[in-house]
Amino acid sequence: RHQKVTILGKTSRSIPVLSGVPQGSILAHLLFLVYVNDLPKKSTTSSVALFADDTKCYHAIRTTDDVKALQCDLDGISQWCRTWRMNLNKTKCGVLKVTRNLKPVQSSYHLNNDNSANSTAICKRLVQKDLGVLITADLKWNQQVSAVCAKANRMLGFVKRSSIKMHDPRTRTALYKTLVRSRFVYSSQVWSPQSVSLIIEVEKIQRRATRFILSLPFRSETSYQERLLKTVFLCLTGTSTWTWCISLRQLH
């Protein structure tokens, strides 16, 4: 199989493709899943979770033997990657320890540990992004909520600037639901805030959005609850509960 690239009418020379899947093809995603399907078999004691090209390997660490077992599984994964010419993105690899133990078992892990020439220590993280969600070592969601609110706030500002001449509430509602509220819905079953301070931080965004949709001034006498009724919105925490119920229903 050979491959070449054409840009603006100019074509590169043809080069042989020795591994991988056809780029841009309809079956590429399926072929890739088939390609990596046997990766978890290289982990004999740890659990492995795959989602597209994202891989997680996790193990309960209670003794030094558990540390050695996890490292052995990481060695198996590294060996699989070398065999099938797949490179791990070392900058995105990290170790996240989730524990309440005041004196956890000390450990360090390496990629390519069975190959001393290319052995690389895996960076220890206090926060690790997993499919767009920030997971912290204490399993609190303050950083995730702050990150989502910051992105949603910037997007709401963009929507307001871009639709100054659009006064139709239906148009503004569609823009808000598509570009802003969708950020709060994504994976909210996992990180939906429970503390009052985080709930207030999240709801501030929709409070501003409802005033914008209804073209109301900042000091409008229309309460937030009244604005929710007029826009037929749930509060954002209510939306998270609704999506959680749908997910639970689908599981059963």
Q: Residue 174: pLDDT above 90?
A: yes
Distance CA 62, CA 13 (A): 55
Confidence of residue 153 (pLDDT cuts 50, 70, 90): very high
**Mean pLDDT over residues 172-176, rounded?**
92
| Residue 134 placed within a domain | no
Q: Residue 152: pLDDT above 80?
A: yes
Residue among 23, 73, 71 nearest 48 (CA):
73
Distance CA 136, CA 94 (A): 12
The distance from CA 108 to its chain's CA centroid, rounded to whole angstroms, is 25
| Residue 79 placed within a domain | yes
Residues 234, 145: one domain? yes
- Where is 48: in which H helix or E strand? strand 47-51
Domain endpoint, select from 65, 100, 125: 125
Distance CA 211, CA 224 (A): 9
Confidence of residue 69 (pLDDT cuts 50, 70, 90): very high
Confidence of residue 86 (pLDDT cuts 50, 70, 90): confident
pLDDT at 114: 66
Handedness of CA 228, 160, 219, 148 (dihedral sign): positive
Domain endpoint, select from 96, 125, 154: 125
Which residues are within 8 A (CB) of 90 and not within 5 positions of it... i.e. 6 or more apart? 111, 120
Predicted confidence (pLDDT) per residue in 123-139, tens digit: 999 999 988 899 998 88
Residues 117, 19: one domain? yes
Q: At what angle do helices 196-213 and 142-162 cross, to 10 degrees?
A: 10
pLDDT at 134: 93
Question: What percent of the chain stands above pLDDT 70?
Answer: 95
Please give the radius of gyration of the chain, using alpha carbons only, rounded to the nearest integer: 24
| Residue 201 placed within a domain | yes
Greatest mean pLDDT among 29-33, 94-98, 188-192: 94-98
Domains in the chain: how many in total? 2
| Residue 8 placed within a domain | no
Strand 127-130 relative to strand 15-16: parallel, antiparallel, unpaired? unpaired
Q: Residue 118: pLDDT above 80?
A: no
On whether the CB atoms of residues 235 and 228 are closer than 8 A, the answer is yes
Predicted confidence (pLDDT) per residue in 10-45, tens digit: 899 998 887 766 777 778 888 888 888 889 998 889
| Residue 197 placed within a domain | yes
- Burial per residue of 202-215, b for 16 or more beta-carbon CB atoms within 10 angstroms, e otherwise: bbebbebbbbbbbe
Which residues are within 8 A (CB) of 223 and not within 5 positions of it... i.e. 6 or more apart? none
